[in-house]
Chains A and B, each alone.
Chain A
Amino acid sequence: MKLIKHLFILFTVLLLSFSCESDNNGPSFSNNVLIINEGNFLSAEGSISGYNSNTKTSEQGLYESVNGFAPATTIQALVKHNENLILIGNNPDKVELLSTSLEFKASILSGFTTPYSFAAVGNKGYVTNWGTFNAATYGYDNSSIVVIDLVNFTILKTIPWDNQPQHVLASNNKIFVSNVNSNSISILDPETDEISGSIDTPFGPDKMELDKNGKMWVICTSGALLKIDINSNAIEATIDNVSTLGFNEKMVMSSAKDKIYYLSYTADFTGTLVFEMDINATTAPTEPIISGTAFYGLGINDQNILFIGDHNNYQGNGTVFMYDLSGNSLGEFESGIVPNGFIFR
């Protein structure tokens, strides 16, 4: 019997000593860069990292340390809106309202089907939804644009969409939606939420950005960059032979909004590249300014430092590389899994 007692004590001691292994030190709010980490496909392990460019330190799992729980989704987008952040996640499909210091405020847990991007006009938010995946066709069915009330954080309406809506951009009291599996950009009227027009494009319009003149640039998966006048909806320039990723394009503007940066694969697909193009250029650049192994996310801060997220072959955490616009390395730091974008503050 003595033996049992000893064994019991041994186990208890072991249990106790291992249950208090690590302690969280809590987040620091000094980070001036937020890194949006998508997380691996299907594992819902999206996270937000922080980087302090003064102390040059990074911190993982900021959302989790602020709230005590993880985002538990694949984070497709995190967008600043007024004094809040809007988090768009898929699998599980949800939209969350966070404070700029990442405190969880509210969420909408149903009504979205593979949501991808977000834009707002006033207190109305527009979320593109790819739809439900069809294993037989490898495509998406029942795509939609979901309109949400950003004050009460509820769904206002669901607009069925014929194509797969990728990005959404709000400007000039218009909502531009790029239909990535087709040849068009649709325009929604935010007053009526009805389609008010459309722009014909090369195949696969994807990311859209405004330049310093208020012109909208669109990168197409088929390898084109378009300059569009958002008043007349007319295409003012088409740059062909643009090397792209071909899927979920990444494109950002310099802080002066006069240069475009986008990601592409190398010709043999074994690496990834960053290209730079002036908004007055007439042909696509042929020489990349930066190359790397697995670039995935792109961002530029107001000091024109390029932040490039590398997914490290989806094997655990990613890396963020920093460069100036001449392509000189300014260092690197660790991120969460699959860093796909940045918020600078």
Chain B
Amino acid sequence: MRKKLVCILALQVLVVLCVQAQMDSLVLQEVEIYGIPHAKYAVGQKVVEVDSAILQQYQNANLGDLISAVSPVYIKSYGSNMAATISFRGTGASHTGVFWNGLNINSLTLGQTDFSLLPVFSADEINVQYGASSTLYGSDAIGGTIHLSSSPDWNEGTALYLNQGYGSYNTHTTRAALNFSKAKIQLNTKAYYTSSDNDFEYQLPSTKQSFNQNNARYSYYGLTQDVNIRLTSNKYISINGWYNSNERELQPVIGNFSDNTQQRDENLRLTAAYHHNAKYGNMVARTGFINDYQLYDKASEIRSRQYINQLQWDKSFKRIAIRSGVNWKHIKAKADNYDSKKTEDRTDGFVLIEYDLNKIQLTTNIRKTFVTGYSTPLVPSLGIDYKVHKHIKLTGKLSRNYRVPTLNDRYWDPGGNPLIRPELSYNIEGGLGSNFGHFTMNVNYYKMWVTDWIVWVPVSGYSTPLNVKRVNSEGVELMAKWKQAIGKLKMNIQGGYSYNIAMDIDVNQQLPYTPKHNVNANLFVKYKHWNMISSIRYVGQRQTLGSTMLKGYVLSDLEIGRSVGNSKNQLHITVAAKNILNENYQTLLNRAMPGRNYQINLIYQLKNQ
């Protein structure tokens, strides 16, 4: 096996060399910025951009709420706006890579992202890439990846966006954005603030008494800043910054009226990139800094810092496009439960090649990560897109993927296991996509074999992580989208269904908190100055860690808006109802979730462009 991989790597290098030899005759091109870093090389996979109308509807929500409304992922939440983790295609919370402007923002200490800490407003564009792609994105990309990105508005002039909202449970939301662009410079600043008492009512099943949820208040604020500079048509600089601060009480289990645990999270993310489209190819040099801080219950601190440097080169030819690069990440982490400050280096090298054979697009990608102290597997992938017909495309992908253990897995005292191995997975997937302009539809099948899945097991009076679990996950996803405009009526309907079997093969059982069925549908209607957006989703029953079966539930949201004004000055009023059916549901056992609730927003937009 290893020999074969070395051969593949050698072949890749050979292709790069051959291509380099014949480069001189090519014309310089403008720098293009994509929403996801390696879009061109994600052949054989489904990448879905979240529709801008839906993005607008979820402007005041967190990423977990948005993602679960538009894609068949399961978000497990410790309550309303509480810690929320993802399960994508039946994988665990740390098997989804979350990226912001090309940087993996999964916590290094826990290895996963708390989706309640990512306000939707902070991103201009959100893409969901289904399925494994470690060759493109490195560690964590096993179930899927989610990409938050800034998308510069180069329309000359000034644009202002103000949004003030008020909703149930004394929820205040304020959003503001200012975009400025002139000649070669584009600036965008966004600021947001939300606070809520979050004291929604729930009923205690035993006594049927109703209570207002205690200890669940939250507030957060943040700021994003983008600077884009076009030095020349082929030289481009982008700088992005994001600071987010979240302070909340941690919602206890139902019936616990005395808990008063709190948590504070602060995240600072900075990145700058220089793009140069030169004769020798398109070069991107990126540097980044991530500072994550968490204070649990005023007592326990976890702090980690990442210094990231990426260098990437790519070149497109008539039939072939090549991208190769090196990422180097220096990590510093400190936690009350580490015996000392930990530092670590992770270096990735990758080569991505795309072959364009008219009807067929092929990619062969390969990546290798070096982590201080131990080795990670070499991962290759092979992807294909085949346009069998004007409207029909077949896709397929084979890949090997991995996840580097978290810092807690290795350094937690007591229990940390320095000998822990990375988790490994082999993935295959195939799809059929059809596009008839107004109507698009696709069907995907996937199967993955995850081994060395890390589980904390008590072995010596305390717990220690071991590579013990083996999971096979398999499923089908259906997606359809239909767009129509009749006079002043615009309509957009989309829906998806997914079926997933994720078996823990040692106990021969579906993984806990992994629904087999997931359905979601969104409808957007615009008529003159009115618009209506509604989303509905069904999540099937899922087993808890024990024998309890949590019932399936249907959640639906509805928003109606009216705008007045002209193209320059516009006032927009929206009224939204969430959980209209007043469904009593839990995503995690014994964590209450709010019933029907309302929100009203007043939005002012000035476009001096």
Chain A residues at the B interface, C-beta cutoff of 8 Å: 3-4, 7, 11, 14-15, 18-19, 21-22, 37, 39-40, 42-45, 47, 60-61, 64, 67-70, 72-73, 91-94, 96, 104, 107, 109-110, 113, 132, 135-136, 246, 265, 268-270, 294, 313-317, 336-337
Complex Cα–Cα for A104 and B209 (A): 14
Binds A, one of B385-393, B545-553, B557-565: B545-553
Residue B459 CB within 8 A of the other chain: yes
B256 lies within 8 A of A317 (CB): no
Residue B455 CB within 8 A of the other chain: yes
Give 9 pairs: A residue, B residue, CB < 8 Å, sorted on A. A11-B497, A91-B252, A91-B253, A107-B206, A109-B255, A135-B299, A135-B300, A270-B460, A314-B463
- In the assembled complex, the CB of A83 is this many whole angstroms from the nearest CB of chain B, namely 20
Closest 9 CB pairs of A and B: A69-B205, A92-B256, A92-B255, A60-B547, A269-B460, A135-B299, A44-B253, A337-B546, A44-B590
B590 lies within 8 A of A43 (CB): yes
Binds A, one of B172-180, B318-326, B536-544: B536-544
B459 lies within 8 A of A270 (CB): yes
- CB neighbours (8 Å) of B459 from chain A are 269-270
- CB neighbours (8 Å) of A61 from chain B are 546-548
- CB neighbours (8 Å) of B554 from chain A are 15
B206 lies within 8 A of A110 (CB): no
- In the assembled complex, the CB of A247 is this many whole angstroms from the nearest CB of chain B, namely 9
A317 lies within 8 A of B519 (CB): no
Complex Cα–Cα for A212 and B498 (A): 62
Our pick among A4, A7, A313 for the contact of B458 (Cβ within 8 Å) is A313
Residue B34 CB within 8 A of the other chain: no
- CB neighbours (8 Å) of A313 from chain B are 457-458
Taking chain B's interface residues, is the majority helix, strand, or loop, or is none over half, making it mixed?
A: loop
A90 to chain B: closest residue by CB: B256
- Considering residues B457, B521, B547, which has the most beta carbons from chain A within 10 angstroms of its beta carbon? B547
A67 lies within 8 A of B546 (CB): no
Complex Cα–Cα for A45 and B254 (A): 11
- CB neighbours (8 Å) of B255 from chain A are 44, 72-73, 92, 94, 109
Mask, B433-466, CB within 8 Å of A = 1, is 0000001000000000000000101111101000
- CB neighbours (8 Å) of A135 from chain B are 296-300
Complex Cα–Cα for A111 and B497 (A): 47
- CB neighbours (8 Å) of B548 from chain A are 45, 47, 61, 64, 70
A14 lies within 8 A of B207 (CB): no
Residue B1 CB within 8 A of the other chain: no
A246 to chain B: closest residue by CB: B461
A21 lies within 8 A of B458 (CB): no
Complex Cα–Cα for A3 and B495 (A): 13
Complex Cα–Cα for A107 and B461 (A): 34
- CB neighbours (8 Å) of B258 from chain A are 93, 110, 113, 132
- CB neighbours (8 Å) of A109 from chain B are 204, 207, 255, 257
- CB neighbours (8 Å) of B461 from chain A are 246, 265, 269
A134 to chain B: closest residue by CB: B299
Residue B227 CB within 8 A of the other chain: no
- CB neighbours (8 Å) of A43 from chain B are 253, 544-545, 589-590
Given A43-B589, A67-B206, A135-B300: A337 touches B545 (CB 8 Å cut-off): yes
Given contacts A39-B546, A43-B544, 8 further A-B contacts (CB under 8 A): A3-B482, A15-B519, A22-B541, A37-B546, A47-B547, A47-B548, A70-B205, A337-B546
Within 8 A of A (CB), among B486-523: 493, 495, 497, 507, 509, 512, 517, 519, 521
Within 8 A of A (CB), among B276-319: 296-300
Residue B480 CB within 8 A of the other chain: yes
- CB neighbours (8 Å) of B457 from chain A are 313, 315
A18 lies within 8 A of B540 (CB): yes
B544 lies within 8 A of A19 (CB): no
- CB neighbours (8 Å) of A42 from chain B are 253
Chain B residues at the A interface, C-beta cutoff of 8 Å: 204-207, 252-259, 296-300, 439, 455, 457-461, 463, 480, 482, 493, 495, 497, 507, 509, 512, 517, 519, 521, 538, 540-541, 544-549, 552, 554, 589-590
A266 to chain B: closest residue by CB: B460
A21 lies within 8 A of B205 (CB): no
- In the assembled complex, the CB of A8 is this many whole angstroms from the nearest CB of chain B, namely 9
Complex Cα–Cα for A313 and B548 (A): 19
- CB neighbours (8 Å) of B507 from chain A are 316
- CB neighbours (8 Å) of B545 from chain A are 40, 43, 45, 315-316, 337
Complex Cα–Cα for A32 and B497 (A): 45
Complex Cα–Cα for A340 and B507 (A): 22
- CB neighbours (8 Å) of A132 from chain B are 258
B299 lies within 8 A of A60 (CB): no
Complex Cα–Cα for A92 and B207 (A): 14
- CB neighbours (8 Å) of A268 from chain B are 460
- CB neighbours (8 Å) of B256 from chain A are 44, 91-93
- In the assembled complex, the CB of A96 is this many whole angstroms from the nearest CB of chain B, namely 7
B546 lies within 8 A of A47 (CB): yes
B552 lies within 8 A of A21 (CB): yes
A92 lies within 8 A of B254 (CB): yes
- In the assembled complex, the CB of B512 is this many whole angstroms from the nearest CB of chain A, namely 7
Complex Cα–Cα for A113 and B257 (A): 11
Our pick among A68, A72, A316 for the contact of B253 (Cβ within 8 Å) is A72
- CB neighbours (8 Å) of A337 from chain B are 545-546
Complex Cα–Cα for A39 and B512 (A): 14
- CB neighbours (8 Å) of B544 from chain A are 43, 45
Our pick among B298, B497, B546, B590 for the contact of A72 (Cβ within 8 Å) is B590
A316 lies within 8 A of B517 (CB): no
- CB neighbours (8 Å) of A110 from chain B are 257-258
A338 to chain B: closest residue by CB: B546
- In the assembled complex, the CB of A268 is this many whole angstroms from the nearest CB of chain B, namely 7
Complex Cα–Cα for A73 and B458 (A): 22
Given A94-B255, A107-B206: A336 touches B547 (CB 8 Å cut-off): yes
B455 lies within 8 A of A317 (CB): no
A337 to chain B: closest residue by CB: B546
- In the assembled complex, the CB of B590 is this many whole angstroms from the nearest CB of chain A, namely 4
Complex Cα–Cα for A45 and B507 (A): 20
- CB neighbours (8 Å) of A47 from chain B are 546-548
A92 lies within 8 A of B253 (CB): yes
B538 lies within 8 A of A18 (CB): yes
Complex Cα–Cα for A132 and B258 (A): 9
- In the assembled complex, the CB of B336 is this many whole angstroms from the nearest CB of chain A, namely 10
B517 to chain A: closest residue by CB: A18
Our pick among B254, B541, B546 for the contact of A336 (Cβ within 8 Å) is B546
Given A61-B548, A316-B507: A44 touches B589 (CB 8 Å cut-off): yes
A61 to chain B: closest residue by CB: B547
A315 lies within 8 A of B589 (CB): no
Our pick among B299, B300, B519, B546 for the contact of A45 (Cβ within 8 Å) is B546
- CB neighbours (8 Å) of B589 from chain A are 43-45, 70
B206 lies within 8 A of A314 (CB): no
A92 lies within 8 A of B257 (CB): yes
B439 to chain A: closest residue by CB: A3
A104 lies within 8 A of B521 (CB): no
Complex Cα–Cα for A44 and B554 (A): 24
Complex Cα–Cα for A64 and B546 (A): 13
- In the assembled complex, the CB of B9 is this many whole angstroms from the nearest CB of chain A, namely 38
Complex Cα–Cα for A43 and B207 (A): 20
- In the assembled complex, the CB of A212 is this many whole angstroms from the nearest CB of chain B, namely 34
- CB neighbours (8 Å) of B296 from chain A are 135
B590 lies within 8 A of A14 (CB): no
A271 to chain B: closest residue by CB: B459
- CB neighbours (8 Å) of B259 from chain A are 91
Complex Cα–Cα for A227 and B147 (A): 66
Our pick among B207, B458, B538, B552 for the contact of A294 (Cβ within 8 Å) is B458
A317 to chain B: closest residue by CB: B546
B461 to chain A: closest residue by CB: A269
- CB neighbours (8 Å) of A314 from chain B are 458, 463
Complex Cα–Cα for A73 and B241 (A): 43
Given A15-B519, A313-B457: A96 touches B547 (CB 8 Å cut-off): no
Complex Cα–Cα for A4 and B258 (A): 50
B497 lies within 8 A of A14 (CB): yes
